[in-house]
Amino acid sequence: MVPLHDSNLTELQGWLGEGPVELPRGQVVQLVLTWIRWKTPAAVVRFGEGEARLLVANDARSVEVARRKLLRQTGGDFTAKEVLQIRSMVMHAFDEADVVGIRGNPSFNEERKMWVHRIECLFEDRCASGRRPAIVTRSRICENLHRALATLLDGVRMVSVISCRDLKSRIELLYGVEDVRLYQTPSEYIKREIDDEYEAALHGVPIWPEFYHRLRSEISVRVPGEVFLVGAGILGKDLCIRIRELGGIALDMGSCLDLMAGKVTRGPNLLRLDPSSAAPPPN
């Protein structure tokens, strides 16, 4: 894998001037590599069915659907006003991300495909209303980024991680990063049966609103273009944009950070893995 050439980037910028650009996941990874090498602030953000429930919440019934999703993810009992506040934050990320991961996969079930369609329609509407052009790719771009981390982080000295998992030693070992800074977040509420002592320390701490706003204010970019690996659920989307605003590069890694920690939090079964098996496959 090599960075995109200057001529390719110039052409890409020209295309973006005309509207959104569709890129396959492999080319997005190449673009991310170029951003990292050139220390270019950017945000790669994925939007799935959870975010869709927030993004389309505009009446009492849809707000209740979004509230239940937030309850399952955080354990918090949100008011309708709070749901709409979080919706505004997610919409801001939806409008600001440089790479928007929204495309689905043929393996998705019908309900998930329905949510993908609603996100895609909303994105088209936002672009028609003046949303700045962006790169569009599949929502599972995080899997490609995970597999490419050895290349993406080659020669990178500092990395920050926003996650419920203790990944410091894993990232140091797997990718040779000298300085790994952790921002710990509460884990996903309905998946806590696989948590260990590190994650359990925040089980009694609600993520909203005080914890989240404090975390957001504490985020700092130590060097231009510092890479942040973000796995903080729905609320992490806004954090990705904040990181870019501060001069960093935010990669929305989602449950791939769980896998890196040796845990599976998606799929039909929740499994605990041997951490030695959590390294991504070769490129």
Mean pLDDT, the chain, rounded, equals 91
**What is the C-alpha separation between 133 and 207, in angstroms, rounded?**
32
Whether the pLDDT of residue 282 is over 70: the answer is: no
Domain presence at residue 101: no
What ranges in 164-281 are assigned the alpha helix state H?
Answer: 168-175, 197-200, 212-218, 236-245, 256-260
Mean pLDDT for 193-204 is 96
Mean pLDDT for 135-150 is 97
Number of Cβ within 10 Å of residue 113's Cβ equals 15
Tell me what percent of the residues of the chain surpass a pLDDT of 70: 87
Span of 164-178, 231-245, 257-271 with lowest mean pLDDT: 257-271
Domain presence at residue 22: no
Total count of domains within the chain: 1
Q: What pLDDT shows up at residue 264? A: 83
Whether the pLDDT of residue 139 is over 50: the answer is: yes
Whether the pLDDT of residue 173 is over 60: the answer is: yes
Say whether the peptide bond before residue 209 is cis (omega within 30 degrees of 0): yes
More confident site: 16 or 239:
239
**What is the C-alpha separation between 83 and 209, in angstroms, rounded?**
11
Tokens for 39?
Answer: 């220390």
Number of Cβ within 10 Å of residue 227's Cβ equals 24
**What is the C-alpha separation between 165 and 259, in angstroms, rounded?**
10
Per residue in 68-111, pLDDT tens?
999 999 999 999 999 999 999 999 999 999 999 999 988 899 99
Number of Cβ within 10 Å of residue 201's Cβ equals 13
Domain presence at residue 161: yes
Domain that holds residue 160: 142-277
DSSP 40: -
Domain presence at residue 206: yes
Mean pLDDT for 272-283 is 44
Domain presence at residue 202: yes
**What is the C-alpha separation between 263 and 277, in angstroms, rounded?**
10
- Is 0.85 surpassed by the pTM of this model? yes
**What is the C-alpha separation between 57 and 84, in angstroms, rounded?**
8
Q: What pLDDT shows up at residue 268? A: 52
Whether the pLDDT of residue 8 is over 70: the answer is: no
Q: What pLDDT shows up at residue 178? A: 97
Domain presence at residue 198: yes
Q: What pLDDT shows up at residue 265? A: 80
Domain presence at residue 100: no
| Burial classification of residue 174, based on how many CB atoms lie within 10 Å of its CB (0-12 exposed, 13-18 middle, 19 or more buried) | middle
Tell me what percent of the residues of the chain surpass a pLDDT of 90: 84
**What is the C-alpha separation between 99 and 47, in angstroms, rounded?**
11
DSSP code per residue over 97-152: -SEEEEE--TTS-HHHHHHHHHHHHHHHHHHHTTPPP-EEEETTHHHHHHHTHHHH
Domain presence at residue 197: yes
Single-letter amino acid code for the residue at 143: E
Q: Are 199 and 165 in contact (CB under 8 A)?
A: yes
Whether the pLDDT of residue 10 is over 60: the answer is: no
pLDDT-derived band at 9, boundaries 50, 70, 90: low
**What is the C-alpha separation between 109 and 251, in angstroms, rounded?**
26
